[in-house]
């Protein structure tokens, strides 16, 4: 028996499984509800003549139910497809719900408006490019970090880089590398003068890289000493070498101040050199070069 | 059934297992049992300790014998017996057909025709645009600052809400040669997108283990000289391509006086980035200290050239996630290489 009031009484005062109570009010979860609020006039179960608009795949349908079909739940709801055009949809609603209560028709039209608006918005959003967030299972994250650690240990990066740089040096890629340490030399200036005489005899031929390529070393060396050094005496070179090497042994960890050496190829911007202070030239020993120097000398 | 299996296993005793002989009164019935089959804990642990001790003693004997043999061989002037090479993952890496060979004509031809050849042949100077994802926070800006100091001729542009494709177009108009997009996730830089221009490939890397300059002990401050590049271990074709892509970010004429080196070292598909300043020094090494017997070589000092590094700049690792042909286009682009889960199944297989 279909008595709306009885149904509403029972639903409201006892239990309705579609009702959701939250702090702002009672809402109805029934998909056929027009407004979504749990109301006497909005309840699709307690109104034998009812209509809604529902959305399927972007197309709107008008659903209607009448009391004549109340005994056939299977065929209860009649469906009418609404066109995408808003005005035309309104006309069709008017046509079908002509003699229906005004309140319901009004609510249905409001619902239609809202749904059209959100359909437009959805289309706009889907055209926009958004970042998609993907999750990575924790197992993989851990595995990657573990492998990375092991790879890091196996890599021995610093050693490899140093080896590579030395290889490049030996191949002759660097035309003019030179660096010297002012501080250390100044400290040990006095000490060196004593040792100088002893070590000069023992000293093995060492190559000075002042400027130019490896091959041009022997020829240009003497000239460079005189021209470029400016304030420096030629004899000081040997001092510098010896003093510097001793220093290297004693104070390996000290931070060095690198001053660039004025080279022939420079633009002419020399760094300021104070009078009286001499500059140390760090040299490298290259076995082949040593022999060559020996022969030249 | 189980007992039969155990007996059979015991009969086929393998060297590595902990089998002990059970002392049996009847010599005929003596059989081998696993040490783990002894139920009594004290007795079992005692047996294990004994086994371990035996193994250790054996190992020491072997090592001594080996050392003695090699010493003898050296003294006699013969060649010492071959040193055993430990088995590493790199030694036992699965054979990869795509490893580049030095005499590969196809490779060189491919290199001439690929997208980076213009930059690498110094026809155009590299110009890099750095930007971020839409929401940038915390370590992102600091990292970008450091990147700007590492890569010469790099500029930072704020992201705004532009689509990446629009940014690519904009960069093309302004004649950039590559774009770097630093992506942040959970307040940490997480991924790096390297886009070559005008129609270069897009490489997506995952970033991890970022250490900023201020967090490195004894760090140095980089100058603005052009750095030297060191690219290690990019062996396969894919690796070669990635290596060239990285190379195209940097100018091809390094300024050696600046003594700056930027390293991308590939190990097991992880690309480690390091930035150092280096110096060459002479190191005196005293020989003959270890060898007490030989008097002749005592006191001789050999001078060797060494390189010393001072780390400056950030330190991070990259892992290639995907390489896409053409500029950024995830939906329509053609992916040359994508990392899939079943590529991780073998521990000895690497792709870069």
- Smallest CA–CA distance, residue A257 to chain B, in Å, is 12
pLDDT digits (tens, 9 = 90+) for A80-102: 999 999 999 999 999 999 999 99
pLDDT digits (tens, 9 = 90+) for A219-278: 434 444 444 444 444 444 333 434 444 444 433 334 444 444 444 444 444 444 444 445
Q: Does B270 touch chain A (CB under 8 A)?
A: yes
Chain A contact probe: residue of B135, B257, B286 with most A CBs at under 10 A:
B257
The pLDDT assigned to A194 comes to: 54
Number of other CB atoms surrounding residue A69 within 10 Å? 15
Could you give the C-alpha distances from B90 to A147, A163, B33, B146, in angstroms and in order?
13, 19, 38, 32
The pLDDT assigned to A280 comes to: 53
Between B19 and B187, residue with greater pLDDT: B187
Contact criterion met (CB < 8 Å) for B270 and A151: yes
CB A293 within 8 A of CB A217: yes
- A145 contacts on B by Cβ (under 8 Å): 208
Which residue has 């002012």 as its token pair? Answer: A182
Q: Does the structure show a pLDDT above 80 at A200?
A: no
pLDDT digits (tens, 9 = 90+) for A15-41: 999 999 999 999 999 999 999 999 999
Contact criterion met (CB < 8 Å) for A177 and B257: yes
Query: pLDDT-derived band of residue A114, with 50, 70 and 90 as boundaries?
Result: very high
Peptide bond into B198 cis (omega under 30): yes
Contact criterion met (CB < 8 Å) for B307 and A155: no
The two structure tokens encoding residue A182: 């002012």
The pLDDT assigned to A226 comes to: 42
Residue of chain B with shortest Cα separation from A179:
B279
* pLDDT mean over B50-63: 96
Contacts 24+ apart (CB under 8 A), B287-296: none
pLDDT digits (tens, 9 = 90+) for B300-309: 667 778 889 9
* pLDDT mean over B237-248: 92
Which residue has 């880089």 as its token pair? Answer: A161
Question: Beta strands A59-65 and A77-81: pairing type?
Answer: antiparallel
Mean pLDDT score across all residues of chain B: 85
pLDDT digits (tens, 9 = 90+) for B271-299: 999 999 998 888 777 665 455 454 444 55
- Smallest CA–CA distance, residue A117 to chain B, in Å, is 24
Chain A contact probe: residue of B303, B313, B342, B343 with most A CBs at under 10 A:
B303
Out of A147, A154, A175, the one facing B90 most closely (by C-beta) is A154
The pLDDT assigned to A62 comes to: 96
Question: DSSP letter string over chain A?
Answer: ---HHHHHHHHHHT--TTEEEETTEEEE--TT-SSSB--TTT-SSS-SSEEEEEEETTEEEEEEE-GGGTT-GGG-EEEEEPPSSHHHHHHHHHHHTTTS-HHHHHHHHHHHHHHHHHHHHHHHHHHS--PPP----HHHHHHHHHHHHHHHHHH-HHHHHHHHHHHHHHHT--S-----BHHHHHHTHHHHHHHHHHHHHHPPP-B---SS-STTHHHHHHHHHHHHHTT--TTHHHHHHHHHHHHHHH-TT----B-PPP-TTS-S-PPP--TT-------B--HHHHHHHHHH-
Q: Which residues 299-338 in chain B show a CB within 8 A of chain A? A: 303-309, 317, 319
Out of A147, A162, A283, the one facing B309 most closely (by C-beta) is A162
Q: Does B159 touch chain A (CB under 8 A)?
A: no
Contact criterion met (CB < 8 Å) for A245 and B284: yes
pTM of structure? 0.65
Signed CA dihedral, A204, A209, A210, A214: sign only:
positive
Q: Chain A residues contacting B, CB < 8 Å?
A: 129, 131, 140, 143-145, 147-148, 150-152, 154-155, 157-158, 160-162, 164-166, 169, 173-177, 179, 206, 245, 248-249, 256, 258, 260, 282-286
Contact criterion met (CB < 8 Å) for A285 and B88: no
The pLDDT assigned to B44 comes to: 94
The residues with which A235 forms a beta bridge, in sequence order, are none
How large is the ipTM? 0.79
Contact criterion met (CB < 8 Å) for A177 and B134: no
Q: Does B344 touch chain A (CB under 8 A)?
A: yes
Out of A145, A165, A175, the one facing B261 most closely (by C-beta) is A165
CA B26 to chain centre: 59
- B208 contacts on A by Cβ (under 8 Å): 144-145, 148
The pLDDT assigned to B1 comes to: 57
Query: pLDDT-derived band of residue B119, with 50, 70 and 90 as boundaries?
Result: confident
Contact criterion met (CB < 8 Å) for A148 and B282: no
- Smallest CA–CA distance, residue B257 to chain A, in Å, is 6
CA A236 to chain centre: 54
């Amino acid at each position: 028996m279909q008595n709306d009031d009885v149904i509403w009484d029972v639903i409201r005062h006892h239990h309705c499984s579609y009702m959701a109570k939250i702090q702002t009010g009672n809402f109805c979860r029934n998909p056929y509800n027009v407004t979504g609020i749990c109301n006497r006039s909005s309840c699709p179960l307690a109104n034998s003549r009812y209509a809604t608009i529902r959305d399927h795949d972007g197309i709107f349908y008008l659903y209607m139910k009448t009391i004549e079909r109340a005994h056939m739940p299977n065929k209860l709801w009649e469906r009418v497809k609404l066109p995408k055009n808003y005005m035309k949809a309104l006309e069709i609603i008017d046509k079908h719900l002509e003699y229906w209560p005004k309140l319901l028709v009004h609510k249905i039209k409001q619902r239609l408006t809202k749904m059209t608006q959100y359909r437009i918005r959805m289309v706009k959003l889907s055209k926009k490019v958004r970042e998609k967030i993907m999750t990575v299972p924790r197992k993989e994250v851990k595995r990657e970090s573990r492998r990375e650690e092991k790879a890091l240990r196996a890599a021995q990066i610093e050693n490899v880089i140093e080896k590579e740089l030395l290889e490049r040096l030996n191949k002759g890629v660097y035309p003019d590398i030179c660096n010297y340490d002012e501080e250390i030399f100044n400290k040990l200036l006095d000490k060196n003068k004593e040792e100088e005489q002893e070590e000069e005899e023992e000293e093995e031929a060492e190559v000075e890289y002042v400027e130019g390529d490896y091959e041009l070393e022997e020829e240009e060396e003497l000239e460079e000493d005189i021209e470029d050094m400016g304030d420096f005496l030629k004899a000081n070179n040997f001092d510098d070498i010896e003093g510097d090497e001793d220093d290297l042994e004693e104070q390996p960890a000290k931070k060095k101040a690198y001053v660039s050496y004025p080279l022939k190829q420079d633009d002419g911007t020399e760094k300021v050199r104070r009078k009286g202070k001499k500059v140390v030239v760090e040299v490298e020993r290259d076995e082949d070069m040593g022999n060559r120097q020996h022969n030249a000398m | 059934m189980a007992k039969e299996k155990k007996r059979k296993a015991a009969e086929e005793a393998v060297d590595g297992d902990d089998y002990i002989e059970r002392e049996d009164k009847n010599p005929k019935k003596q059989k081998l049992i696993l040490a783990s089959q002894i139920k009594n804990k004290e007795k079992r642990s005692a047996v294990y300790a004994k086994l371990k001790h035996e193994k250790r003693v054996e190992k020491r004997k072997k090592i001594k014998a080996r050392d003695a043999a090699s010493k003898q061989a050296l003294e006699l002037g013969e060649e010492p017996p071959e040193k055993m090479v430990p088995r590493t993952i790199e030694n036992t890496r699965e054979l990869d057909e795509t490893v580049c060979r030095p005499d590969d004509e196809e490779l060189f031809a491919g290199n001439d025709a690929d997208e980076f050849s213009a930059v690498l042949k110094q026809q155009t100077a590299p110009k890099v645009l750095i930007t971020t994802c839409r929401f940038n926070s915390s370590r992102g800006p600091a990292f970008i600052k450091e990147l700007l100091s590492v890569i010469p001729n790099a500029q930072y542009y704020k992201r705004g809400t532009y689509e990446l494709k629009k940014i690519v177009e904009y960069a093309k108009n302004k004649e950039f040669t590559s774009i770097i997009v630093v992506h942040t996730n959970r307040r940490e830089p997480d991924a790096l997108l390297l886009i070559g221009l005008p129609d270069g490939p897009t490489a997506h890397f995952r970033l991890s283990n970022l250490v900023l300059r201020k967090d490195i002990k004894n760090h140095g401050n980089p100058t603005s000289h052009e750095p030297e590049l060191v690219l290690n271990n990019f062996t396969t074709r894919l690796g070669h391509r990635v290596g060239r892509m990285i190379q195209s970010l940097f100018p091809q004429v390094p300024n050696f006086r600046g003594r700056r080196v930027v390293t991308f070292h590939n190990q097991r598909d992880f690309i480690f980035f390091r930035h150092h300043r280096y110096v060459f020094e002479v190191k005196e090494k005293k020989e003959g200290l270890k060898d007490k017997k030989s008097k002749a070589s005592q006191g001789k000092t050999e001078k060797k050239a060494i390189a010393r590094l001072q780390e400056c700049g950030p330190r991070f690792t990259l892992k290639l996630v995907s390489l896409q042909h053409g500029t950024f286009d995830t939906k329509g682009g053609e992916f040359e290489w994508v990392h899939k889960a079943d590529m991780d199944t073998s521990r000895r297989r690497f792709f870069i």
